[in-house]
Amino acid sequence: MSKKAKKDTDNKIAKSINKNIRSSTRKLKPILKGIVGRKVDHVIRDLTFSDKRISKDIKKTISSAIANAENNYQLDIDNLIVKEAYCGKQVMMKRFRARAKGRAAPILKPYSNLTVILTEQKKESKHGTKG
């Protein structure tokens, strides 16, 4: 068995993608940076009590990734951590606002993609490297 094949079987990941989030990537990125590397139950708790409007959609995407991990890979929910969370640009909805003297001003309403990747936390021995 090659090293690459062994690596793929050892590290199962669960993924969830939300393609139409009504927010800009600039507003999503600070929240996503705060959740990477943390346990999912802590992340869900923090997003539940967050005052940001977009945190509800992020929480929904993480919950979907947790369900994927449980159903598709039989991963233990208690050991799941957020391995990666990133966003990308989607379409830009264009509207306009009427202004004085017959003019118009553009209103750009951005959409974003959100991808969350979960993995199982590695078990560490209590005695360190000696053993």
Domain residues of the chain, as ranges? Answer: 13-120
Class of the CATH-defined domain 13-120: alpha beta
> In terms of pTM, does the model score above 0.85?
no
- Asked if residue 66 lies in contact with residue 40, where contact means CB atoms within 8 angstroms, the answer is yes
CB within 8 A of 115, min separation 6: which ones? 15, 16, 17, 18, 84, 85, 86, 87, 88
Per-residue pLDDT at 57 exceeds 50: yes
Q: Give the tens place of pLDDT for each residue, 70-114.
A: 998 888 888 899 999 999 999 999 999 999 999 999 999 999 999
- Tell which wins on pLDDT, 6 or 111: 111
Calculate the average pLDDT of the chain: 87
